[in-house]
Structure 1
């Protein structure tokens, strides 16, 4: 159990953590404790009752915060044993309800991120890129392709295409594409993702360091600005043994589900 976390819990209500619901503040506090090394992989969290008492919040708030971090893959729960910081080698769970970059996802789990560049250049767009990005025949696309690695484990192959008007110099992307887009005021605010299962072929399997024929999760993402303009067209291939996607589903009110078979 971490004394470091216990010592910083009272700061939850002193205004030092950004605004939002209390459970979100607690999540940020725990995430920061992991990033700062106060909590290490395998460390146990205090019981809900103790967390609530020290932070002066309700157990319901603690439970909601912890369950959210479990869904995100930062914490794991073992029946009869308690809640622990997830091992860095554990499978990563990615929420489908938040639009974040790979770099952000891994950093908030305390994982060291790097990329092996496969391609960065400006090209004539394919017909699919023209239609998706709304380009004319005379325009060009910036393509960035890279192998995404977390804690020295290859996790995904990411291939993104953007208009050169949005990304005139692909070499500017050194770690996070979304950080570069944010700097120019072009960070997307929403996206549509399509996920499908596939079998890895030789080249991609070699990059991901898994046997040929291993399962993968393939994701096609189209991202939008607040104006509704398409800003990014990305296709990614994730190792199915190291990554899984999680979505929370809620039952609508009676007016929304009338006539439904449950």
Structure 2
């Protein structure tokens, strides 16, 4: 590893800022496999001595790699190459549950419950679910993992009339709803970028501030009644969302 941090190839001219050069060198070593998941980098002080760079420069280069999720820092243990996470592609044209998505890929699913119970609805739940002032709402909050890797945080809200016993949901919420003939048949989803806050990043096992995807879903029964309001956070390094686009009918194209 010593040649990786050789001072000979750092240049004050032509290669960009020194911390960027260090960032690039480590990133290339990770991409090529020279640095493997779990490898421990030298401490900041040693890296500065090996490269001839200042500790401030080294810290800035390493922090950029931590922010992008390529390195992880463990207090008292050091800095390590982050484990590789297989990217998953999810079609946006299908209304499926996390459990169904993973089962279709032949992957194991685990849930770590954070909370589930009946509550007085918050204003946004009243609006999204069309609840009255005296109605109750069932909340389910959990971390969804596949093959031991945390991938998403789900925070689902449903009218208590739809889910009166949230403690009874063990694995798939949609399986429970289907058993009661209350499974949604359509949904509206909104996806936005998010930088993960400390609490959510800790739940997903990634550094605070890394990129994530926020997905808000409102699902409907055949009658048009809203059955589910879910706000999820997905790891940005693990998911690609894909949607099929088709050419509009000729009549629509010629009228615009």
TM-score (norm 1): 0.65
Cα distance in structure 1, aligned partners of 2:238 and 2:130 = 34
Cα distance in structure 1, aligned partners of 2:124 and 2:169 = 23
| Contact 2:140 2:166 (C-alpha < 8 Å) held by counterparts | yes
Select the structure with the greater relative contact order (CA < 8 A; seq sep ≥ 6). 2
TM-score (norm 2): 0.66
Q: Deviations over 1:113-145 (max 9, x none)?
A: 010000001100011111111111111000000
Cα distance in structure 1, aligned partners of 2:193 and 2:118 = 30
- Match for 1:183 among 162, 179, 184? 179
Q: Which residue of 1 aligns with 2:165?
A: 169
Q: Which runs of 5+ in 2 are unaligned?
A: 1-83
Query: How big is the shift at 1:167?
Result: 0.4
Query: How big is the shift at 1:259?
Result: 5.6
- How many pairs were matched up? 173
Work out whether 1:219 is the aligned partner of 2:215: yes
Work out whether 1:246 is the aligned partner of 2:242: yes
Q: Deviations over 1:193-232 (max 9, x none)?
A: 0000010010000111111110000000000000000000
- Runs (4+) of structure 1 exceeding 2 A deviation are none
**C-alpha RMSD of the superposition:** 1.2
- Match for 2:233 among 221, 233, 237? 237
- Match for 1:150 among 142, 146, 163? 146
State how 1:55-70 maps to structure 2 within 5 Å. Answer: none
Cα distance in structure 2, aligned partners of 1:197 and 1:259 = 34
| Contact 2:85 2:237 (C-alpha < 8 Å) held by counterparts | no
Bigger CA radius of gyration = 2
Q: Which runs of 5+ in 1 are unaligned?
A: 1-87
Q: Which residue of 2 aligns with 1:126?
A: 122
Work out whether 1:98 is the aligned partner of 2:94: yes
Query: How big is the shift at 1:89?
Result: 5.0
Query: How big is the shift at 1:90?
Result: 2.2
Query: How big is the shift at 1:173?
Result: 0.7
